[in-house]
Amino acid sequence: MNKTLPALAAAFLLFSSPLVAQTTGISNLQNGLSSFVTNAPPSLPFAASAGLDWSDAYIGQLVDTSFPWVHLGVGFTGGVTSLPNSAINPLLEALGQADVSSVGLPFTAFNLRLGGLVWPFDMGLKIGFLPPGLVANGLAYTYSSLGFDVRYNLLKDDLLWPNVSVGGGVNYMSAVASGSYGNTVTYSDGQGNTLILDKTKLDMKLSSLEFEARAQVSKKFLFILTPYLGLTAFYGTGHAEAAVTTTATATNGLAAWQQYIPGITNTGFSKTNDQGSFGMKIWGGTSFDVFAVKFDFQGMYSLFNGAYGGAAGVRIQL
């Protein structure tokens, strides 16, 4: 896991080169902040939903009469979901950075699933994090998530039929990517006034609370392979904030710049947006089963906004 977490964090590479001193129009900074807080939130419920999708549509009741007589599992999953370039690139350009071709938000999750009692259902729990102080490519990352679901078995896997289940769940995620820069950026309002930002630190804060309904089908083959396919409908809130900590100075004082960046002070500014959205996610893959150990590989796609992702995990499951 010591190698997995840094590798996942490195996938979230938003900045690929250092800032250089420059002069640019203040409208570029306005547009960059607005693009980030407007375009990032719709993809966040999709990101929050990842990390608890196992290959088996139903794992069985906690205690029953079939081998191995108890049904539960514990494992670890890691992966990446995408954010739209339209959320990131205008902000990068305003801060003197080159555009990026793709942007990924990493996630990790320790997950647990228990079979139900009396009725044919199971329930899962995930807890995810990236360790504090993790740095990749000049960015410091934090990440946390929590999720819970319940699935009810409609059709049980046997010689001919697959496992089919329906259910629902709730997920929460929070992430921050922070970068510190020592160079100076100068902005102009087109009328001879300038705003200078020095020793800038940028915190991109993302969070989402997501509620979902789901259906899944899976089928075990030869005791070693379990392909699966799922469909999730969800509603979630997405929160995005671009918080800039800096030393800000301006000709004629900062008051004149409030019309461009409301709330700006000599120590920085921020812009936020909260947005709710509906979505649908299709996801699937397969696990390779070696006795009680399952190696799970999955892809996922958002039908409404084109966000996508991938995950891999390992678990012990009875």
pLDDT tens digits for the chain (318 residues)? 444 444 444 444 333 333 344 577 899 889 999 999 999 999 999 999 999 999 999 999 999 887 788 999 999 999 999 988 888 788 877 877 667 676 778 899 999 999 999 999 999 999 999 877 777 655 677 899 999 999 999 999 888 899 999 999 999 999 998 877 777 889 998 888 899 988 888 898 999 999 999 999 999 998 899 999 999 999 999 999 999 999 999 988 898 899 999 999 999 999 999 999 999 999 999 999 999 999 999 999 999 989 999 999 999 999
Give the 3-state secondary structure of residue 4.
helix
**Which position has the token pair 């990352």?**
141
Q: What is this structure's pTM?
A: 0.88
Closest C-alpha among 248, 251, 265 to residue 199: 248
Which residues, 6 or more positions from 80, have their beta carbon under 8 angstroms from its beta carbon? 8, 11, 12, 104, 105, 106, 107, 309, 310, 311
Q: Does domain 4-317 have CATH number 1.10.10?
A: no
- For residues 35 and 207, give the distance between their C-alpha atoms in angstroms, rounded to a whole number: 17
CB-CB contact of 122 with 23 (8 Å): no
The DSSP letter of residue 97 is P
Closest C-alpha among 273, 184, 193 to residue 26: 193
Cα 71 to chain centroid, rounded? 29
pLDDT at 301: 97
CB-CB contact of 296 with 55 (8 Å): yes
What amino acid occupies position 75?
G
- Provide the strand spans (E) within 182-306: 185-188, 194-218, 225-250, 268-290, 293-302
Q: Which residues pair with 228 in a beta bridge?
A: 218, 285
| Integer angstrom CA distances of residue 194 from 33, 48, 245, 249 | 18, 40, 18, 8
Give the model confidence (pLDDT) of 218-270 as tens digits: 999 988 999 999 999 999 999 999 999 999 999 888 988 999 999 999 999 99
Closest C-alpha among 88, 83, 113 to residue 99: 88
| Integer angstrom CA distances of residue 137 from 9, 141, 253, 271, 280 | 10, 11, 35, 25, 33
Residue 229 structure tokens: 């396919």
CB-CB contact of 162 with 128 (8 Å): no
